[in-house]
C-alpha cells in the first residue's frame, strides 16, 4: 500500500517557466512533508519542507503548497533552470522521536534550455 504517491514519473518544462510537481498521501497521521532532489550517483538533497500547521512555505525559487483536506502537496519551481533537472521525491512522516520518512516514487524533471 503506497502511502505517498507521485503519479507523474516524468515532467518536461522549458527553461524560465514554472515546474509543478505533485504528490498525494493517504495517511492522515502524516504531519511533516519534505521535498528532496536527487542527481544520479548522489544521495537525496533536502530542498524544502512544510509542517501540517501551514499551507505554504517558500524558499527562493521553491514553494511548497499543502492541501490537508485533499491530502495533496505540490512543489513549484519558478523560474525553472536546466540545473534543476533531477529526480524529485516527496516524503512524509508522522510525529515521532526520530523521523521515519515514507518516500514517493519520484518524478524525473527535465528542464529544456
Partner 1 sequence: DTEVTQTPKHLVMGMTNKKSLKCEQHMGHRAMYWYKQKAKKPPELMFVYSYEKLSINESVPSRFSPECPNSSLLNLHLHALQPEDSALYLCASSQVGGHNSPLHFGNGTRLTVT
Chain residues binding partner 1 by CB under 8 A are: 32, 34, 36, 41-46, 49, 51, 53, 89, 96-106
Residue among 15 and 31 whose Cβ is closer to partner 1: 31
Compute the least distance from the CB of residue 39 to partner 1, in Å: 10
Residue tagged 516524468 (cell numbers) = 10
Residue among 45 and 81 whose Cβ is closer to partner 1: 45
Compute the least distance from the CB of residue 113 to partner 1, in Å: 25
Residue among 8 and 105 whose Cβ is closer to partner 1: 105
Identify whether the C-beta of residue 66 lies closer than 8 Å to the C-beta of residue 50. Answer: yes
CA gap 57, 35 in Å, rounded:
12
CA gap 68, 24 in Å, rounded:
10
Compute the least distance from the CB of residue 91 to partner 1, in Å: 8
Residue 75 to residues 1, 41, 94, Cα–Cα distance (Å): 23, 23, 20
Amino acid at each position: 500500500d503506497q502511502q505517498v504517491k507521485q503519479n507523474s514519473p516524468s515532467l518536461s518544462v522549458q527553461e524560465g517557466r514554472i515546474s509543478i510537481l505533485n504528490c498525494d498521501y493517504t495517511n492522515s497521521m502524516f504531519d511533516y512533508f519534505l521535498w528532496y532532489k536527487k542527481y544520479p550517483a548522489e544521495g537525496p538533497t533536502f530542498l524544502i519542507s512544510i509542517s501540517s500547521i501551514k499551507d505554504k512555505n517558500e524558499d527562493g525559487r521553491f514553494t511548497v503548497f499543502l492541501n490537508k483536506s485533499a491530502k495533496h502537496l505540490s512543489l513549484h519551481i519558478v523560474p525553472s533552470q536546466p540545473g534543476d533537472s533531477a529526480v524529485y521525491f516527496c516524503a512524509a512522516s508522522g510525529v515521532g522521536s526520530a523521523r521515519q520518512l515514507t518516500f514517493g516514487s519520484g518524478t524525473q524533471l527535465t528542464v529544456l534550455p
